A and B are shown apart, each in its own frame.
Chain A
Amino acid sequence: MIAWDPNMEMMPEEGLKKLQFKLLKTLVYRLYSFSNFYHERMDAHGVHPDDIASLGDLGKLPFMYKTDLRDSYPDKIFTAEQEELVRYHVSSGTTGKPTVVGYTKHDLDMWTESLARALTSCGLGRGDVIQVSYGYGLFTGGLGLHYGAERIGASVVPTSVGNTERQIELMQDLRVTGICCTPSYLMHIGEAAKKMGVSIRDDTHLRTAILGAEPWSEQMRMRIEEEMGIKAYNIYGTSELSGPMFSECTEQNGIHMWSDICLVEILDPETDEPVAPGEQGEMVVTILQKEALPIIRYRTGDITSIDTTTCACGRTHPRIARLSGRVDDMLIIRGINVFPSQIEHALLGIPAVSGHFMIEVDRVGALDTMLVRVELNPEAFSDKINDLMAIRSMVAHTLKNALNVSVDVEIAEPGSLPRFEGKAKRVIDRREY
């Protein structure tokens, strides 16, 4: 088994914890002394660096929110002088004001190191030819993976996004073995290749794909792997944390979150209390080594669970599961957290209905009710009410099993529910608070 930094990646958990505490302590003292933002935030929260006496005291520190970054546009939270900054990345601002992330030389180095470990754990290295088909520029994906791939000694083909036919030609001509891009772009490449008469499986050397920057499912992975004859790995990161940073290893059993780089908490979004390993909650991240834009207890809004056991690959750092949704999408129905993505996932397994659905939430007296409207697939139509009622109860039963909360189901005509081009808005919440 190959690791980029075996001593670090296989370090026993106890050693990692000690290291994390040391880094956290240093971070908190540094920020209390040099960052107005963190100094004021900690004072307001009634916590002093001296109160952090163990990793367990992490919960005493205040959270940082995306709005903090927006409010500090462009660089009010930065703790490095402008002359220390060697790069900026800026978010697209699709959901509000853009956020700016600055990097010192050391920040770029840690980011690159994190990706060097990630790419190596996916079986890539010297001798590989890696096509980076994430966008280059203000978006973090392209340059992030570019430097990561260079660091492991691979040959990089910096194609960025677009001009797909040319990408496919280069993939063949330069004998590309790995590709980094969004899963939807890889699907697009696959379709374009087919039109050109090129089989990714038979006519290219591609065997590894590092996919992320958008939600994708296990089903999509299976489809990509089967159709293209490659292995597809999930990568995670957000621009606030630097960019794409962490990935699965060849075990494909969770994304390794390097303990010397970040401290991960999974919290119940309602109570802010930690949930048990394996349980779902919001991921809150502290980046232990970051100079220009330090991040303590950043509420990512991403819902996942954590596995702290040693991976079958031998790496000791904890792993997070594929993201199951966003806190913004989370509904609380009778005290139970429900994500539209869970419903979508459950419906995809039922042939009698399509994947289009709408959720309507109401409050009757003190009780929350949730209605899920689904479209019947024409093949499942029967003129007997009993058959239709059976489909309805089967859907309700499947959803109840998936969500742990009972659901009303309404069967709708095919094509009658709204379709979404951008971000889907599948929830109508009529409860009054």
Chain B
Amino acid sequence: MDPRAYTIKQISVFSENKPGRLMAIAGALEEESINILAFSIAEANGFGVVRALVDKPDAAFKKLNAMGFMVSFTDVIAVKMRDVPGGLFEMAKLLADAGINIEYSYAYSGRDAAVLILRVDQVESAVKAIIFRGGNLLKSEDFQEKP
């Protein structure tokens, strides 16, 4: 098993916290026909970081960067959860048992399962621990184009 198959490129965009910024980002992605699978906004005083899983991360990076946005890639993992009461509990317990610390996380309800997106400090050992405990991870190729 190659843990790298399970690391997924998330784009992170720095944005000032003011009207129109998310519109500009989303509009740019639409222009490039880039599909957003999941996203979240983390906010602090005056600024935020928009994090998104998209189907064409490289194209998204290029476009936003050219528009003057500060963009970076972050490796995250995406864990499938059962979309039933207790689904998140099972997954949180699995991560806790594996001793994986979550730096941040967001979730979306996918076609066949709920998906929890995790930013952890040690991606590869997290992947191994989750799979070892019977967890189900999405692969980048499941929804992202190859660069």
**Chain A residues at the B interface, C-beta cutoff of 8 Å:** 376, 378, 381-385, 388-389, 392, 410-416
Contacts and interface: CB of A to CB of B under 8 A. Distances in A.
23 contacts: A382-B72, A383-B10, A383-B12, A383-B51, A383-B72, A383-B74, A383-B119, A384-B104, A384-B119, A385-B43, A385-B44, A385-B49, A388-B44, A388-B49, A389-B44, A392-B44, A392-B45, A410-B46, A412-B47, A413-B14, A413-B16, A415-B68, A416-B68
Interface in B80-130: 103-104, 119
B47 A381 contact: no
A381 B72 contact: yes
**3 A-B pairs closest in CB distance:** A383-B12, A410-B46, A381-B70
Interface string B30-55: 00000000000011111101010000
A411 B70 contact: no
A388 B70 CA distance: 13
Contacts, number: 48
B49 A413 contact: no
Nearest to B11: A383
Interface of B: 10, 12, 14-16, 42-47, 49, 51, 68-70, 72, 74, 103-104, 119
B49 to A, nearest CB: 5
A413 B68 contact: yes
B14 A384 contact: no
Given A383-B74, A413-B16, A413-B69, 12 more contacts: A376-B14, A383-B10, A383-B119, A384-B103, A384-B119, A388-B44, A388-B49, A389-B44, A410-B46, A413-B68, A414-B70, A416-B68
Given A376-B14, A383-B74, A384-B104, A410 B47 contact: yes
Contacts of A378: 70
B70 A413 contact: yes
A333 B2 CA distance: 59
A139 B16 CA distance: 45
Contacts of B16: 412-413, 416
Contacts of A383: 10, 12, 49, 51, 72, 74, 119
Nearest to B14: A381
A415 B42 CA distance: 22
A382 B103 CA distance: 13
Contacts of B10: 383
A402 B89 CA distance: 50
Contacts of A389: 44
Nearest to B46: A410
Contacts of A416: 16, 68
